[in-house]
Structure 1
Amino acid sequence: MTPAADETRLFECETCGGVGIGHNRPTCCGDSMTGVGTTETAVSKPSLETLLQTVFDMSGTELDVCLCVMEGGELTVTALAEQIGYERSVVARHLNHLADLGVVEKRRRIRPEGGHVYVYTPQPPEVVRERLRGEFLSWVRLATAQLDDLQREKVEAIADAETDERQWTVFQEQ
């Protein structure tokens, strides 16, 4: 199956094993990277909810909060909590995470009667898409490093084996 010209593709460097994602063939180690086939795979296409949960640690509740801000414009935590029926602390936590992701902008506003309040404003859709894409690519880089570590640990365990017993186990973070 040949990908469409405007389809995002996956590439791999034959020299170092680096991975590239894009529309055009990137270069690495001085050569063009090789396109990775997109035929059958054991991995199923993730739903948007699965993608948001896995990569961005975004729950269904946080997605609700995000969509409400996108639709509602500038909102305070209190106004949004009343609008969607979630506890104020839950809404505040999710809005802060969305601000960290760059999906919403958090600004402090001085109140005329004194004190201040934070207001949250949605970023334009193209900014949201680029921020999430950047975070996703960072996640892919970190996930690839985890797989590289797994392979390194396996090879080292086999190389260090002094017996015929099975030496390799999957290492998990404690």
Structure 2
Amino acid sequence: MEPDPDPSRFRDLMLDSEPGFEEVLRCVFGVQDHEARLYIELLDAPDSTVAELANQVDRDRSNVNRALSTLLDKDLATRRRRLLDSGGHVYQYRATPPEDARELMHDTLDEWAAYVHERIDEFPDGEA
């Protein structure tokens, strides 16, 4: 995943004096509330299927599928295919381990800070 240092994503986080983990996750990765909650659910229930997750978070399967796609795109989840004894297959999802997610967050924030430093360096000298 290539981090996107969109400064507007960080505005609310900077204004919140004590942001929680989900707020930081939403801000840094640009995910929505239900996607952040789904990541937390995956931490608690690794190798869940879409149907199991939909039941756990009380959302329909199409919403869960879209949220999982976002988490996969952001490298916050992985998917593996499991063959069923009855034939066919099912996909199981697992959250990216917190230590890896933390590293991704640090990398994204470092990139954002570098972006801000570049903007600061572009300020005029003040000499007319």
Quickly name the TM-score band, shorter chain normalised: 0.5 to 0.7
Distance across 1 between alignment mates of 2:84 and 2:18: 44
Is contact 1:55–1:139 with CA below 8 Å preserved after alignment? no
If each structure's helix is expressed as a fraction of its own residues, which one has the higher value? 2
SS at match of 2:87: coil
If each structure's strand is expressed as a fraction of its own residues, which one has the higher value? 1
Structure 2 length normalisation: TM-score?
0.66
Is contact 1:101–1:131 with CA below 8 Å preserved after alignment? no
1:55 pairs with 2:59: no
Cα offset, 1:143, TM superposition: 5.0
The structure whose Rg is larger is 1
SS at match of 2:31: coil
Identity %: 31
| CA shift digits 1:44-71 (9 cap, x unpaired) | 5362344333321122211211111111
1:118 pairs with 2:91: yes
Runs (5+) with no aligned partner, structure 2: 1-13
Bigger relative CO (Cα 8 Å, ≥ 6 apart)? 2
Is contact 1:101–1:132 with CA below 8 Å preserved after alignment? no
Question: What does 1:136-147 align with in structure 2 at a 5 Å threshold?
Answer: 136-145=109-118, 147=119
Q: CA RMSD in A?
A: 2.9
Q: Decide whether aligned partners of structure 1 residues 90 and 127 sit closer, same or farther in structure 2, where only a CA change above 3 A counts.
A: same
**Other-structure match for 2:70:** 97
The alignment of Structure 1 onto Structure 2 pairs a total of residues equal to: 111
SS at match of 1:112: coil
Runs (5+) with no aligned partner, structure 1: 1-41, 160-174
Letter in 1 for 2:97: P
Is contact 2:28–2:105 with CA below 8 Å preserved after alignment? no
